[in-house]
């Protein structure tokens, strides 16, 4: 009788609670990972595109890092990453560092404030959210911002690929040393490691080549 009652309850939950919602609860709450606090916008935010990136957009007028890339909004909060299809709600935990992040210049806020990108005048364009959502894919496919005056940077030559890779490696090392990133890993690693077992080596994720890994 108890088994029958339990089965009825689970069946009712499966009908009432959508599957994506249940999965999100399992990821963000089931393993004790909190969701970030909401960012309140009086109006849809404008973004700018970051030079020397694979079409990474950033919201410049808030004091938290919020990006748009490949159809998703991204947030870094307390050493963890979250993403959503909406800029103001629906955040879900993302279990790795998105591959675009190491292309983003850590000093971009200063460059934005000074309208200067490494000695070159940066006439960035403020892009409304609606325009971004309607055009991001075609802009990326057509390499719109390189053709449109090198991301708005006057007389600028994009960095060679080898230099970009070296910068990515440096930024990755600096990121791993951040105290909040190291703190965020400790409870996650303790939870994910089964009793009586130890992981051999490091977990491997395929590197992004061509189309990004959007698991």
Say which residues have a Cβ less than 8 Å from residue 112's Cβ, sequence separation at least 6.
48, 60, 122, 124
In a domain, residue 92? The reply is yes
In which order are the strands placed within the sheet that holds 80-84?
48-49, 57-58, 66-69, 72-77, 80-84, 92-94
What's the 3-state SS for 121-188? EECCCCECHHHHHHHHHHHHHCCHHHHCCHHHECCCCCCCHHHHHHHHHHHHHHHHCCHHHHHHHHHH
- The neighbour count for residue 117, using CB atoms within 10 Å, is 23
Its pTM stands at 0.71
Q: Could you give the maximum distance between any two Cα atoms of the chain, in Å?
A: 77
Instruction: Show the domain range for 175.
Output: 46-182
What region, left, alpha or beta, does residue 46 occupy, with left being phi > 0 and alpha being psi -120 to 50 degrees?
beta
Q: How far apart are CA 9 and CA 15, in angstroms?
A: 10
In a domain, residue 200? The reply is no
**Which has the higher per-residue pLDDT, 94 or 200?**
94
Query: What average pLDDT score do residues 161-181 get?
Result: 87
In a domain, residue 1? The reply is no
Q: How far apart are CA 126 and CA 27, in angstroms?
A: 34
Contact (Cβ atoms closer than 8 angstroms) between residue 74 and residue 98: yes
Q: How far apart are CA 66 and CA 64, in angstroms?
A: 6
In a domain, residue 188? The reply is no
Tokens for 148, please give them.
């449109």
Q: How many domains are there within the chain?
A: 1
In a domain, residue 27? The reply is no
Q: What is the pLDDT of residues 102-135, one digit of tens each?
A: 999 999 999 999 999 999 999 999 999 999 999 9
In a domain, residue 8? The reply is no
In a domain, residue 129? The reply is yes
182 falls in which pLDDT band (50, 70, 90)? confident
Tokens for 119, please give them.
């000695």
% of residues, the chain, pLDDT over 90:
55
149 falls in which pLDDT band (50, 70, 90)? confident
In a domain, residue 10? The reply is no
């Amino acid at each position: 009788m108890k088994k029958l009652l339990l089965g009825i309850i689970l069946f009712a939950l499966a009908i009432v609670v959508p599957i994506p919602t249940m999965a999100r609860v399992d990821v963000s709450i089931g393993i004790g990972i909190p969701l970030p606090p909401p960012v309140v916008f009086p109006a849809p935010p404008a973004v700018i595109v970051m030079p020397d990136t694979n079409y990474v957009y950033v919201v410049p007028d808030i004091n938290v890092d919020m990006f748009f890339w490949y159809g998703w909004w991204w947030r870094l909060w307390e050493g963890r990453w979250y993403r959503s299809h909406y800029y103001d709600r629906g955040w879900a935990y993302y279990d790795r560092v998105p591959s675009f992040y190491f292309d983003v210049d850590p000093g971009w806020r200063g460059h934005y404030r000074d309208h200067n990108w490494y000695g070159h005048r940066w006439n960035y364009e403020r892009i409304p959210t609606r325009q971004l959502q309607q055009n991001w894919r075609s802009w990326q496919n057509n390499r719109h911002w390189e053709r449109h005056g090198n991301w708005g940077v006057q007389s600028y030559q994009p960095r060679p690929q080898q230099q970009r890779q070296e910068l990515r490696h440096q930024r990755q090392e600096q990121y791993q040393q951040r105290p909040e990133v190291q703190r965020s890993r400790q409870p996650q690693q303790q939870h994910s490691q089964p009793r009586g077992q130890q992981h051999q080596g490091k977990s491997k994720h395929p590197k992004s080549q061509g189309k990004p890994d959007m698991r």
